[in-house]
Chains A and B, each alone.
Chain A
């Protein structure tokens, strides 16, 4: 990968990751507003907004972050499986993306209930609390990903160690 293309993919990765964090923070604000507000109009608006935020900001940004991260890693000398911090980031990103997609269903349930009725059913109380909990958990996971990118804790995988030895060999001959 050329240096300019590498910088473009890195820019895409950083931007989508920051956007993902911001979108989840906005989702959390709406989830808290929906849970704590006594105003039924505000509550409905919050859950409708949560559905839109999740589908049109969180999901696309999560997929963009995952894809751009993989491309960026493969296009640089860091590689995708050479260093533990990158491998751990990849595993966590895949896990939270899967969890996000699995939990789009309850987001849709709340959004459609808010669109249909003026007063949300008491049955949905558990889901409303879950939305806050999931958003907090997602923010913590994204914070861990950011910290891994900044600190880059040492540790080379066996694969990375082997590849480095293979690359060094020709220069010694």
Chain B
């Protein structure tokens, strides 16, 4: 998950310069994009399985 390199500190990065010390940094755009993609893929996976292309199909083969 992490490595031994030093993590950036908010006070030395531009995060605090933009947001000030009183308010927490806002969620970066790349996180929102990632989150959207993950949610879409999970929904797609669930829909495919409910449509019988996933686990239902697997169970069918066992019978």
Contacts and interface: CB of A to CB of B under 8 A. Distances in A.
Contacts of B38: 91-92, 95
A106 interface: yes
A18 to B, nearest CB: 14
Interface of B: 1-4, 6-11, 13, 15, 21, 24-25, 27-28, 30-31, 34, 38, 42, 45, 53, 55, 57-58, 61-62
Given A126-B57, A155-B30, 5 more contacts: A72-B2, A88-B34, A90-B1, A95-B42, A155-B27
SS class, residues of chain A in contact with chain B: helix
A73 B27 CA distance: 21
Given A156-B15, A162-B24, A109 B1 contact: no
Contact of B55 (A90, A102, A165): A102
Contacts of A69: 1-2
B7 A168 contact: no
A84 B28 contact: yes
A89 B10 contact: no
Nearest to B42: A95
B35 to A, nearest CB: 8
SS class, residues of chain B in contact with chain A: loop
Nearest first, the 8 closest Cβ-Cβ pairs linking A and B are A78-B2, A69-B1, A155-B28, A73-B1, A158-B24, A161-B24, A106-B58, A73-B2
A77 B61 contact: no
B31 A123 contact: no
Given A84-B31, A155-B30, A164 B9 contact: yes
Nearest to A92: B38
Given A78-B1, A102-B55, A155 B31 contact: yes
Contacts of A126: 53, 57
A164 B8 CA distance: 11
A164 B58 CA distance: 48
Contact of A10 (B4, B25, B30, B62): B4
A31 interface: no
Nearest to B15: A156
